[in-house]
Amino acid sequence: MTENNTTEHSELDWLKTPDSSEEKNDSNLDWVEDLKELNKDLEERILEANKDKTLVKWNKLLPDLMGTDILMVGQFGGEDANGQRQLNILMMQKDGHTVVPFFTSPSRIAVLKTSENSQFDVMKVNTVRFFQSIAGKPCVLNPMSDYVRIFSPFDMRVLAAENIDKAPPLPVPENA
């Protein structure tokens, strides 16, 4: 491991994944590093799309966003009746409305850090599956950054339906 990689990992100390233990190790953060690189091009395109007042670039970008994995923040709790870990999704206030934030890279989540909240439970999920899971709630991509975009519940329903082929298959329960 190079000194540079060690520095990058220490900058991500606030990040907790469902599989993280108290001790951080390289395998726990591999998917974080992969995601950071995966969405690098996407984030550049988001910046360009936000500058385009005609929304043409956003229309071209949206199918790619729907096919990629994003990060959602929450707090993992106990297990439900089916033995699945529960996740309470983080919500925030934006312009007087409650929205669900989601992020294209770990570095975007850092804006949430406060003296009270210095660690977050983070889950990587396909964008279509994320939109399906929070149906009825507006969401904001990369809040408090230049990479921001707000999605209404209607937008999310339409985008999820139009791009369902970009979502990975749902896991089959072991009892089925």
CATH number of domain containing 123? 3.40.1350.90
Is 171 part of any domain?
A: no
More confident residue, 66 or 124: 66
Is 132 part of any domain?
A: yes
- Euclidean distance between CA atoms 154 and 157, whole angstroms: 5
More confident residue, 8 or 63: 63
Helix axes 153-162, 56-67, angle to 10 degrees: 70
pLDDT tier at 30 (50, 70, 90 boundaries)? low
**Which ranges of 39-168 does DSSP label H, i.e. alpha helix?**
40-51, 56-67, 106-109, 127-133, 153-162
Is 175 part of any domain?
A: no
The pTM of the full predicted model, rounded to 2 decimals, is 0.74
Is 170 part of any domain?
A: no
Is 174 part of any domain?
A: no
Contact 141, 104 (CB under 8 A): yes
Range of the domain at 113: 3-165
pLDDT tier at 83 (50, 70, 90 boundaries)? confident
Instruction: Give the closest residue to 137 by CA, choosing from 170, 65, 104, 89.
Output: 89
CB under 8 Å to 165, separation ≥6 — which residues? Answer: none
Is 88 part of any domain?
A: yes
* Domain tally, the chain: 1
Is 96 part of any domain?
A: yes
Copy the structure tokens of residue 160. Answer: 């999820």
- Euclidean distance between CA atoms 172 and 174, whole angstroms: 6
